[in-house]
Amino acid sequence: MCDKNFMSLALEQARRAYQEGEVPIGAVLIDEDGILICGDHNRIEQLNDATAHAEILTLRAASLKLKRRRLSNCTLYSTVEPCAMCAGALVLCRVKRLVYGATDSKFGAAESIFNVVDNLALNHRLIVTAGVMEVECLELMKNFFANVRSR
């Protein structure tokens, strides 16, 4: 499968978040053979937990499923550029590659504000591909926040 196919899976997760009243961000983790390990979406409001971001929940689930903390040779697909917390978790889990849809000019930590995932001071760096299905990812976010503002 190609990046667009996997990003479509992350977008499905983001749509679930939207339907549940959460900021519509979704993530999936794929192994080196192109097999889906797991995925999730933002659950911050549901769990009353500021750390319940799609990426963090996906990494936690993958570690439990695979019974290991290092997720080497895996690729994480996220509909939005990860924040500093999520980017740091990707580094700590040793994820090989990050693919995301929309940049985040307020919280992004893969290129927009910080570059945690490719920082030479850290002992692990990720390969990053940005802008995959960016239009679809941005549209979902814009629609969500337009609906929030209209209420």
Residues classed as catalytic: 55
SS3 state of residue 101: strand
Sequence-distant (6+) residues with CB within 8 A of 68 are none
DSSP 124: -
SS3 state of residue 77: strand
Interatomic CA distance for residues 116 and 17, integer angstroms: 25
